């Protein structure tokens, strides 16, 4: 038999609030004293308060965790890029690497050979470009109409996805767009162009 007290916190708050607000109407019929009614309401209020406090703390933690993840990508991407430039320095020695604790390849990241990874999907009014930053800070995004040779800069973005709201070249006429991107590290474009992504955009 199912428990009459919900297991989910949101539903539990609704149940507790209803009990607290309804108990006065039935206390006389059920022989519940005023003192017991007060205790019942106190239990309800205390648990509602605890659930709300937990939800607030959870949302705060999620926000802080998201900020930490973003900062980790930015900081470690920047540091890897800097360290990758130190490695070939003729003055670099095993002793310096050991002192700085940068022994090893750092995951094999090479700013010169990094290749951005993007995907594209058309929506009503815009094209959504998703990308993976890896050890970079973001991407420089370019596009052209299929058949054209010149790439046009769209935007630099640091958080995927990027929504391109560039209007149709000919209003009302669907077009095939090609997108490519380069990685960005420490405000500098790096690496190789991504594979070209084609998207049919109808406006």
Please confirm whether the linkage preceding 46 is cis (ω < 30° from 0). Answer: no
- Of 112, 106, 103, 116, which is closest to residue 80 (Cα–Cα)? 106
- Does the pLDDT of residue 107 top 60, yes or no? no
**C-alpha torsion sign, points 80, 182, 188, 156:** negative
- Of 83, 67, 66, 74, which is closest to residue 184 (Cα–Cα)? 74
| Third-level CATH fold of 110-201 | Immunoglobulin-like (2.60.40)
Helix (H, G, I), strand (E, B), or coil: what is residue 169? coil
pLDDT tens digits along 137-182 = 899 999 999 999 999 999 999 999 999 999 999 999 999 999 999 9
Q: pLDDT at position 71, please?
A: 87
- Of 199, 131, 196, which is closest to residue 168 (Cα–Cα)? 199
Domain ranges of the chain: 9-75, 110-201
Q: Tally Cβ neighbours within 10 Å of residue 161.
A: 15
Is residue 51 within 8 A of residue 14, CB to CB? The reply is: no
- pTM confidence score: 0.50
């Amino acid at each position: 038999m199912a428990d009459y007290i919900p297991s989910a916190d949101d539903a539990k708050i609704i149940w507790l609030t209803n009990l607290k607000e309804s108990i006065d109407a039935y206390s006389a019929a059920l022989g519940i004293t005023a003192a017991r009614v007060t205790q019942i309401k106190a239990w309800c209020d205390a648990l509602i308060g605890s659930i709300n406090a937990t939800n607030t703390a959870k949302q705060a933690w999620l926000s802080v965790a998201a900020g930490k993840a973003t900062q980790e990508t930015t900081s470690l991407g920047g540091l890897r890029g800097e360290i990758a430039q130190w490695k070939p320095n003729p003055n670099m020695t095993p002793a310096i690497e050991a002192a700085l604790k940068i022994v090893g390849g750092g995951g094999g990241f090479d700013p010169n050979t990094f290749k951005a990874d993007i995907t594209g999907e058309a929506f009503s009014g815009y094209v959504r470009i998703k990308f993976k930053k890896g050890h970079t800070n973001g991407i420089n995004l370019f596009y052209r109409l299929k058949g054209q040779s010149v790439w046009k800069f769209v935007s630099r973005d640091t958080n995927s996805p990027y929504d391109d709201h560039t209007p149709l070249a000919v209003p009302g006429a669907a077009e095939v767009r090609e997108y490519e991107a380069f990685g960005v590290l420490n405000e500098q474009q790096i690496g190789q162009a991504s594979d070209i992504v084609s998207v049919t955009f109808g406006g």
